[in-house]
Chain A
Amino acid sequence: LAKTTQPISMDSYEGQEVNITCSHNNIATNDYITWYQQFPSQGPRFIIQGYKTKVTNEVASLFIPADRKSSTLSLPRVSLSDTAVYYCLVGPDNYGQNFVFGPGTRLSVLP
Chain B
Amino acid sequence: KAGVTQTPRYLIKTRGQQVTLSCSPISGHRSVSWYQQTPGQGLQFLFEYFSETQRNKGNFPGRFSGRQFSNSRSEMNVSTLELGDSALYLCASSPPEHPNEQFFGPGTRLTVL
Per-position contact with A for B42-79: 1 when CB-CB < 8 Å, else 0? Answer: 11110010100001101000000000000000000000
Q: How far, in Å, is B94 (CB) from chain A's closest CB?
A: 8
A9 CB, min distance to chain B CBs, angstroms: 14
Q: When each residue 24-47 of chain A gets 1 if its CB lies under 8 Å from chain B and 0 otherwise, what string results?
A: 000000001010101001111110
CA distance A77 to B80 in the complex (A): 48
Q: Which residue on B lies nearest to A91, using beta carbons? A: B100
Is A44 within 8 A of B104, CB to CB? yes
Indicate whether B90 reaches chain A with its CB closer than 8 angstroms.
Answer: yes
The yes or no answer to B81 lying at the interface (CB within 8 A) is no
Consensus secondary structure, chain B interface = strand
* Chain B: number of interface residues, binned into ranges: 20 to 34
User: Binary interface profile of A, 79-111, with partner B (CB < 8 Å = 1, else 0)?
Assistant: 000000001010101111111111110000000
Once the chains bind, are A100 and B45 in contact (CB under 8 Å)? yes
Q: What B residues does A71 contact at CB under 8 A?
A: none
Residue-wise interface mask of A (51-94) relative to B, using a CB-CB cutoff of 8 A (1 in contact, 0 not)? 00000000000000000000000000000000000010101011
Chain B residues in contact with chain A, CB under 8 A? Answer: 4, 31, 33, 35, 42-45, 48, 50, 55-56, 58, 88, 90, 92, 94, 98-107, 109
16 A–B pairs (Cβ distance < 8 Å), ordered by A: A41-B109, A43-B104, A43-B105, A44-B43, A44-B102, A45-B104, A46-B101, A46-B103, A91-B100, A93-B98, A95-B50, A97-B56, A97-B99, A98-B58, A99-B48, A101-B42
